[in-house]
A and B are shown apart, each in its own frame.
Chain A
């Protein structure tokens, strides 16, 4: 543990890379949410981001997921620089290359589990017939093959998060971004979700996960420590956190 590495040391052809990104919020006093962060996520890696509340973890995740644009620096997703893209191209990219998982699940309340999973395909104009089948496959993969037509309100927290993960995988994204995915779950359910992340990572999926729980962070290969919008250290995790 505790081996600091500079971010540019990571492997070639990263899925996502951020170079000296800055993000400042102007609400009265300017807040430097991110203050020159460089980070790249090698293909197949599992990275955790830790840091105190307000240290810029969510901001970093939003920038890497093309949900936000940096005030300085550059973000590349799958070799594609975000600054070159129009707003709608960014939306397109977000839908196809990125899968988001949030602390509060963020399912569409009036759509069923299966419909929630098809949503990214709907916006991506995937052929109609394939969608439902794909949603079924994905929900089976997260262990919800028997909950296809349930509304989110009929599901437990852990089940909702599984639906959210299935939805994040809908368009076979290059990167799974999870912001405190276990934050609203009890420890046992949280561990189940982490097991699922492991399975996905073992199958080759690149994952970036924000958390402030050490025990959850240790599931990853490495932990990026953020303090005040800057990378404090990048720590490799020995062995398997499972």
Chain B
């Protein structure tokens, strides 16, 4: 029997049992729809977080220390100051390096502007002015980078800490853990909203004379040292080369290599790496949740098999008739398989449509960009058809085995 003919006959049978066919496909529809919805949500979330970063990619990398905690899993960033002035100078001397900005945290506890003050909830970082002057990554929205010891750059989030938003030229003062207080003039305001993630209020001061943490180098000298560095390359074309050189330096020559605790690792991550890492984590999460959703496909598949078995029993007599007029076993198998594949395919198609619909609604409510996970749509349709084949096999085989005489004797 040719395929077109079995399509026609199977389709007739599906339409002959509209309610039952609808209920049968419902399992597949729900399974496929939930997979597609989660894939849209995951993709949209990634796009929302990283879409901007990818468009604003900059040749910047972060050098920091990682440790694996003895108990538990995961990784932690270590903030012990192991990157020395010598390391900074060495990297500055490399080809294609635009700037090296040490990142040194200052122990400020209170930030004041006039009579208003804020305690905690902000970070104070000593760094150098080139970080804001030369970087492609940070936009100075107003003013310029600091050029004197009593000037500071603040980020957008800091300006909003005060009723009258801070602006260039305003006075702020920082109180430190040791009780001392220093006063700065805001020289510039920086926009740090690049990764789409929440940014903490921050105040950036010059290193001199505020940052004084030192460490004893392997040569026995006291040198200033920082818990992390930011390295800017000259362009996106050179950033990978610079990353390699910096990594090689830390593996072979650096003071930091000897100063770090055994087992810790020095990590050099470009913005690209961060993007990859974040999207990798979201992808994993999405696939994990999608996988759970896919379990409902198994349920859908059992549903089809179940209904098909009922349908075979109900149609025993019809099967007998078909055998009496010359149907072979394989014709019967073909008919029932085609029927369950049609059910699976219909379920998959409607499931994809429903999933896109729900995904679209959810994404627009969350204000995320809509994405169409074409790969997952293709997978879902294939799985739907596959579910049809798998769940149709056993019932079809049972149908083919039916003894025509028995079948025709039934009333």
Chain A: residues with CB nearer than 8 A to chain B? 62, 65, 67-68, 87-88, 91-92, 94-96, 100, 102, 104, 106-111, 119-120, 122-125, 128, 167, 170-171
Interface size on B, residues (CB 8 A): 26
| CB < 8 Å neighbour of A111 from B2, B9, B324, B411 | B9
Most buried by A among B324, B330, B411: B324
Closest 4 CB pairs of A and B: A95-B326, A120-B325, A91-B328, A88-B328
| Cα(A158)–Cα(B224), bound, Å | 107
Residues of B within 8 A of A91 (CB): 323, 326-329
With A106-B321, A125-B1 given, is the CB distance from A87 to B12 under 8 Å?
A: no
| Cα(A128)–Cα(B328), bound, Å | 19
Residues of B within 8 A of A68 (CB): 405
Closest to A102 in B: B408
Closest to A119 in B: B325
With A102-B408, A122-B5, A123-B331 given, is the CB distance from A110 to B12 under 8 Å?
A: yes
Q: A87-B328, A111-B9 are in contact. List 13 more A-B contacts (CB 8 A).
A: A62-B405, A87-B329, A88-B328, A92-B328, A94-B325, A95-B326, A95-B327, A106-B320, A108-B321, A122-B1, A122-B5, A123-B328, A125-B1
Residues of B within 8 A of A95 (CB): 325-327
Mostly helix, strand, loop or mixed at chain B's interface? helix
Residues of B within 8 A of A65 (CB): 324
The answer to whether A94 and B12 have CB atoms under 8 Å apart is no
The answer to whether B318 and A67 have CB atoms under 8 Å apart is no
| CB < 8 Å neighbour of B325 from A109, A110, A167 | A167
Asked if B13 CB lies within 8 Å of chain A CBs, one says: yes
Asked if B131 CB lies within 8 Å of chain A CBs, one says: no
Asked if B322 CB lies within 8 Å of chain A CBs, one says: yes
| Cα(A111)–Cα(B330), bound, Å | 21
Q: How far does the Cβ of B168 sit from chain A's closest Cβ, in whole Å? A: 81
A-B contact pairs, 13 of them (CB 8 A): A67-B324, A88-B328, A94-B323, A95-B327, A100-B325, A110-B16, A111-B9, A119-B325, A120-B325, A123-B328, A125-B1, A167-B325, A171-B326
| Cα(A124)–Cα(B9), bound, Å | 15
Q: How far does the Cβ of B5 sit from chain A's closest Cβ, in whole Å? A: 5
Q: Which chain B residues numbered 366 to 403 have a C-beta less than 8 Å away from chain A? A: none
Closest to A124 in B: B326
The answer to whether A67 and B329 have CB atoms under 8 Å apart is no
| Cα(A62)–Cα(B403), bound, Å | 12
| Cα(A128)–Cα(B408), bound, Å | 28
| Cα(A52)–Cα(B324), bound, Å | 25
Residues of B within 8 A of A104 (CB): 411
